């Protein structure tokens, strides 16, 4: 008989979205969507049914989590009493004396690992043993990876942990409990369920243990675009089979449109409306980067895009990198103060090596020309990003 597991991580319930430029309503909708995605995972664990649900850390944000969110979690786990739930607290939800993990009473099917060293728990209804550990603060006090010894018995052994595989460490993400996958593997360990990296990632190498990051069940920003997943694992005769299952209730998308290929703003608007959804019925959070040259009148109209089509999406961010259709070489030849300004800006733009600086200088040239002419310049979207 096979062992069935559900693996997820990095839900980040009660995440703050103040930095994302969202309205309070949009931020509340995002936090609800995180709950809905976790509920999808938990429900699947009960319906499949899984022998165990493995949650590899960062279930919630320690300094922001509400009592209502903890009540939601306990109720969700209470609804799958026949599924053993294992949680390894991560760097965002460490096991500390004031953590809800320590202060709340959890359903009987829930095991929360409490130490920064490996602990083991047998599942009573299956020949399964789960090993796990907990962060005891934002930085773990000791790194248990590479320290697990699996007993030689007839049970299936799996582990759940939160940390950074050194072989896949993104340059823009902090390293927590860093480990070498080859050292983290252990003879007799069939599967290592990992959390911390938000994209589904399998660690491959010459070692006996299958290791996967499930990724976050829902993206947390425009660096995490596209569908998101949780993992289903079936283990037969010690060999795990892993399947991705879609889980996101909201999906981030980023698109770039070259406005120079359109004759008017209506055509751009229709192109936005026709952008294909990447996640079926999931709510869409879009960032649209507008590039290319267009007439100033069209540029001004494009600044109204969020007002015109914003209600079709859960969130819409317009990044305006367009430039006006002007003959700057001709303007630079004028024997006027404007001609001198334009020539200086043309030279600076030509000398700029970084694309971002070139865009900034082009924008400055455009604003300077508009000021000289006494014209208004659309502000929306000039923040870029």
Q: Is the pLDDT of residue 69 over 60?
A: yes
Q: If you average pLDDT over every residue of the chain, what do you get?
A: 93
- Return the higher-pLDDT residue of 384 and 38: 38
- Closest by alpha carbon to 51, among 13, 100, 86, 94? 86
In the chain the first and final C-alpha atoms are separated, in Å, by 52
pLDDT of residue 385: 36
pLDDT band for 378, please (50, 70, 90 cuts). low
Q: Please list the residues that pair with 193 across neighbouring strands.
A: 160, 212
- Whole-number Å distance between alpha carbons of 6 and 54: 6
- Please give the radius of gyration of the chain, using alpha carbons only, rounded to the nearest integer: 26
For the chain, percent of residues with pLDDT exceeding 90:
78
pLDDT band for 303, please (50, 70, 90 cuts). confident
pLDDT band for 38, please (50, 70, 90 cuts). very high
pLDDT of residue 377: 65
What domains does the chain contain, in order, with CATH numbers? Answer: 3-246 (3.60.21.10), 250-373 (no CATH)
Q: Is the pLDDT of residue 240 over 80?
A: yes
- Closest by alpha carbon to 55, among 213, 225, 179? 213
User: Going by DSSP bridges, is the β-strand pair 119-123/128-132 parallel, antiparallel, or unpaired?
Assistant: antiparallel
Q: What is the pTM of this model?
A: 0.85
pLDDT of residue 381: 43
pLDDT band for 169, please (50, 70, 90 cuts). confident
pLDDT of residue 341: 95
Any idea which of 128-142, 171-185, 235-249 has the lowest mean pLDDT?
171-185
- Return the higher-pLDDT residue of 146 and 299: 146
Any idea which of 97-101, 215-219, 254-258, 363-367 has the lowest mean pLDDT?
363-367
pLDDT band for 384, please (50, 70, 90 cuts). very low
For the chain, percent of residues with pLDDT exceeding 70:
97
pLDDT of residue 375: 74
């Amino acid at each position: 008989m096979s062992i069935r597991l559900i693996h997820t991580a990095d839900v980040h319930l009660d995440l703050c979205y103040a930095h994302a430029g969202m309205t309070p309503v949009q931020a509340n909708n995002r936090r609800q969507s995180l709950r809905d995605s976790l509920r999808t995972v938990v429900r699947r664990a009960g319906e499949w049914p899984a022998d165990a649900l493995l949650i590899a850390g960062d279930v919630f944000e320690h300094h922001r989590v509400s009592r209502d969110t903890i009540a939601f979690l306990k109720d969700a786990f209470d609804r799958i009493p026949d599924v053993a739930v294992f949680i390894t607290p991560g760097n965002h939800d460490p096991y500390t004396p004031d953590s809800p993990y320590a202060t709340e009473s959890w359903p009987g099917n829930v095991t929360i690992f409490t130490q920064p060293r490996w602990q083991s728990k047998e599942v009573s209804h299956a020949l399964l043993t789960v090993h796990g550990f907990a962060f005891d603060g934002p930085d773990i006090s000791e790194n248990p990876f590479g320290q697990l010894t699996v007993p030689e018995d007839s049970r299936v052994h799996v582990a759940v942990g939160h940390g950074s595989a050194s072989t896949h460490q993104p340059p823009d993400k902090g390293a927590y409990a860093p480990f070498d996958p080859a050292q983290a593997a252990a003879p007799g360990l069939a599967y290592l369920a990992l959390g911390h990296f938000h994209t589904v990632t399998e660690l491959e190498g010459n070692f006996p243990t299958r290791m996967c990051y499930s990724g976050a069940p829902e993206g947390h920003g425009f660096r995490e675009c596209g569908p998101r997943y949780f993992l289903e694992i079936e283990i037969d005769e010690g060999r795990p089979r892993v399947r991705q299952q879609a889980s996101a209730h909201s999906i981030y998308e980023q698109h770039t449109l070259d406005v120079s290929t359109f004759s008017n703003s209506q055509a751009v608007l229709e192109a936005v409306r026709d952008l294909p959804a990447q996640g079926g019925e999931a709510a869409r959070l879009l960032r649209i980067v507008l590039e290319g040259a267009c007439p100033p009148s069209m540029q001004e109209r494009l600044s109204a895009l969020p007002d015109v089509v914003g209600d079709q999406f859960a969130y819409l961010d317009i990044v305006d990198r367009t430039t006006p259709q002007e003959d700057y070489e001709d303007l630079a030849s004028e024997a006027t103060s404007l001609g001198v300004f334009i020539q200086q800006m043309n030279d600076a733009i030509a000398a700029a090596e970084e694309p971002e600086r070139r865009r900034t200088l082009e924008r400055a040239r455009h604003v300077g020309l508009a000021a000289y002419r006494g014209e208004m310049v659309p502000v929306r979207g000039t923040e870029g990003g």
